[in-house]
């Protein structure tokens, strides 16, 4: 397995947020700061790797008709484990991400990878798939986070970069700005990808 | 794709789902137990930090002497003492904001004037209600006497300047403080 | 009447899509036909309300009393998945054309974060069964309103000259942003 090729696939070619356009709730909901975006991305990646591995392991004993509920229970278990762990070890981030943590279970990315990859491949390959797609997701969230935090609060990673009373475009940390920022980002990335093709 | 999978008979489906659920429950119960202590510790640390920030220098252990009043089961009173003399109280109070509970630690001095406030947790709208954690909003409460400074937003006839476009969050903040002040009056001043 | 406030707020002020960001997958992916959008909203409303009632009862009668609150995510999502299965079966029997028109979007209701989100938020906001149900209903109506407006706008955009890079998702997102801006005019009410 060519790790470099896999990384390129997950982060660029099949980036879930900018290319596949799935799992769009978190990119809009928790990217008001870069740290939130990164935290959510890493939590989702952890769930992705876990669920992909377990599902690849037991794929042969899941009767076809109960695929969906079986997937959901496995994914939900990992989400709950991450939820509990975050509450214990990173409480501030846990409070910031709030309701979006349990919502990882319905992040279309995880179900999509379970269906498209884990149910057809081996455990290690599925683990790597989870890792690279998760990384692509995390990077996408951080990029959006940088745009929104910089323009909306004048900081990155909570470190203020602009003067204390510089005008910031408040709209970017509010929902409306998230949509607009994402729209322009995807358009820009579309243009960039076209140029390299 | 379903060649090497278990056939979807009723028995198989129920068996597998039950099995998966059982394993999941066990795994989660374990994780819950393992993380129970750290999670409790997080709460304690937050409270201790808030007490230090809000109360004047004390030499007792307010957490050890904390108490609640029967009429206000959710509120926690932390008495601060120095040299055996009471010098004030910190009260952990709560109210419902726009998107959930708002927990505030408010300090009162022996004259029942507000010393300081600190938001322990809230889940309000980012950029609007979350501004309640800023000094800009909380400064107006410092040194106030709840008997004269009405702990309600100006819109409701009180003395508090609400946050822009976050009336409900501001109301919740006031309600929490009000509860604490009332509780103090009604027997909390031990 | 308090219930009217809940409905108004959940539809306009705290719209599930424009203010809370929940339900984005079906929102962006749903067909640009107004008719399908209406069918989808009806299905979502049905599932949302039923899911809120059932998960509420489960939490209060089973999860809390037995101290297994940490199973909330698993139990809630299984309930939602089952309800969606049920809706699919009912729709197949009752209205074949609608069932066909909704197609793949029907099972996707399970992964609509608006539904799981709402069932969890009802507890964060400390609502009781009746307020919670009304809140869920309002939220679903808000969702429906958002996707219907959006489908209508998309129908028009499809006829316009959009720059190459903007086609599809980008213009959709920016339009949503402008809609969200418009809905911001409601903030501060209620």
pLDDT in tens, chain A (197 residues): 688 888 888 888 888 888 888 888 888 888 888 888 999 999 999 999 999 999 999 988 888 888 888 999 999 999 999 999 999 999 888 988 888 899 999 898 998 888 888 888 889 999 999 999 999 999 999 998 888 888 877 777 777 776 655 666 767 777 788 888 888 888 888 888 777 76
* Per-residue model confidence (pLDDT) at position C39: 84
Residue B1 has pLDDT above 50, yes or no: no
How many distinct structural domains can be found in chain B?
1
- Cα(C72)–Cα(A117) distance, integer angstroms: 28
Cα-based distances in Å from A174 to A66, A169, A171, C153:
40, 10, 5, 22
Spell out a b/e string for A4-34, using b for 16 or more CB atoms within 10 Å of the CB, else e: eebeebbbeeebbbbbbbbbbbbbbbbbbbb
How many distinct structural domains can be found in chain A?
1
* Per-residue model confidence (pLDDT) at position A77: 94
Angle at CA A86, nearest 5°, toward A81 and A88? 100
Considering only CA atoms, which of A43, A27, A23, A45 is closest in space to residue A144? Answer: A27
Residue B117 has pLDDT above 90, yes or no: yes
From the CB of residue A65, how many other CB atoms can be counted at a distance below 10 Å? 15
Residue C81 has pLDDT above 60, yes or no: yes
- The answer to whether residue A98 is domain-embedded is yes
- Enumerate residues 6+ apart whose C-beta is below 8 A from C49: C133, C136, C137, C140
From the CB of residue C33, how many other CB atoms can be counted at a distance below 10 Å? 14
- Cα(B10)–Cα(B22) distance, integer angstroms: 18
| B128 contacts in chain C (CB < 8 Å) | 187
C62 touches chain B (CB under 8 A): no
* Among C70, C126, C188, beta carbon nearest to B96: C126
Cβ-defined contact of C74 to B21 (cutoff 8 Å): yes
Mean pLDDT of C163-188: 79
- The answer to whether residue A183 is domain-embedded is no
* Per-residue model confidence (pLDDT) at position B2: 46
* Per-residue model confidence (pLDDT) at position A46: 95
Structural domain for C91, as ranges: 37-152
A67 touches chain C (CB under 8 A): no
- The answer to whether residue B23 is domain-embedded is no
How many distinct structural domains can be found in chain C?
1
Structural domain for B89, as ranges: 52-188
Structural domain for A117, as ranges: 3-141
CA distance C167 to chain A (A): 8
* Among C71, C124, C188, beta carbon nearest to B99: C124
Q: Which of A34, A60, A63, A176 to mutate to test the interface with B (most CBs of B within 10 A)?
A: A63
- The answer to whether residue B98 is domain-embedded is yes
Q: Are A73 and B21 in contact (CB under 8 A)?
A: yes
């Amino acid at each position: 397995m060519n790790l470099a090729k896999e990384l390129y696939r997950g982060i660029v070619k099949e980036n879930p947020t900018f290319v596949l356009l799935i799992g769009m709730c978190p990119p809009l909901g928790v990217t008001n700061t870069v740290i939130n975006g990164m935290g959510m991305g890493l939590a989702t990646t952890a769930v992705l790797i876990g669920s992909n591995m377990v599902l690849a392991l037991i794929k042969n004993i899941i009767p076809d008709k109960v695929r969906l509920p079986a997937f959901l229970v496995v994914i939900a278990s990992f989400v709950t484990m991450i939820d509990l762990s975050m509450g214990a070890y990173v409480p501030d981030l846990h409070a910031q991400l709030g309701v979006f943590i349990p919502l990882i279970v319905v992040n279309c990315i995880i179900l999509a990878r379970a269906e498209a990859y884990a149910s057809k491949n081996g455990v290690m390959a599925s683990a790597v798939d989870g890792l690279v797609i998760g990384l692509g997701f995390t990077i996408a969230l951080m990029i959006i986070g940088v745009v929104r935090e910089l323009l909306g609060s004048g900081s990155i990673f909570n470190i203020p970069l602009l003067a204390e009373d510089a005008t910031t475009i408040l709209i970017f940390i509010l929902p409306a700005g998230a949509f607009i920022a994402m729209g322009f980002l995807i358009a820009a990335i579309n243009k960039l990808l076209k140029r390299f093709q | 794709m379903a060649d090497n999978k278990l056939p979807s008979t009723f028995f198989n489906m129920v068996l597998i789902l039950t099995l998966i659920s059982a394993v999941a429950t066990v795994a989660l119960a374990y994780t819950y137990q393992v993380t129970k202590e750290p999670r409790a510790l997080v709460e304690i640390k937050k409270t201790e930090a808030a007490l230090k920030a809000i109360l004047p220098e004390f030499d007792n252990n307010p957490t050890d002497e904390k108490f609640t009043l029967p009429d206000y089961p959710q509120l926690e009173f932390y008495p601060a003492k120095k040299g055996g003399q009471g010098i004030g109280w910190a009260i952990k109070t709560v109210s419902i904001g726009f998107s959930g509970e708002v927990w505030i630690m408010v300090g009162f001095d022996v004259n029942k004037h507000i010393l300081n406030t600190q938001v322990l947790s809230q889940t309000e709208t980012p950029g609007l209600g979350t501004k309640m954690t800023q000094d800009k909003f909380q400064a107006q409460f410092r040194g106030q006497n709840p008997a004269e400074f009405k702990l309600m937003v100006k819109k409701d006839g009180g003395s508090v300047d609400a946050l822009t476009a976050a009336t409900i969050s501001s109301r919740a903040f006031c309600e929490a403080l009000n509860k604490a002040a009332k509780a103090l009056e009604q027997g909390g001043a031990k | 009447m308090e219930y009217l406030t809940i409905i108004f707020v959940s539809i306009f002020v705290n719209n599930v899509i424009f203010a809370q960001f929940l339900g984005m997958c079906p929102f962006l992916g749903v067909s640009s036909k107004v008719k399908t959008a209406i069918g989808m909203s009806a299905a979502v409303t049905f599932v949302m309300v039923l899911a809120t009632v059932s998960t509420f009862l489960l939490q209060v009668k089973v999860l809390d009393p037995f101290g297994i609150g940490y199973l909330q995510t698993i139990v809630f999502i299984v309930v939602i998945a089952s309800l969606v299965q049920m809706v699919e079966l009912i729709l197949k029997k009752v209205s074949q054309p609608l069932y066909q028109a909704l197609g793949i979007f029907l099972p996707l209701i399970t992964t609509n974060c608006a539904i799981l989100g709402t069932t969890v938020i009802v507890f964060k906001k400390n609502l009781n069964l009746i307020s919670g149900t009304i809140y869920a209903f309002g939220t679903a109506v808000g969702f429906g309103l958002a996707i219907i407006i959006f489908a209508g706008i998309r129908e028009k955009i499809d006829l316009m000259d959009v720059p190459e890079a903007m086609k599809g998702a980008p213009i959709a997102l920016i339009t949503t942003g402008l809609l969200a801006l418009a809905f911001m005019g409601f903030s501060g009410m209620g």
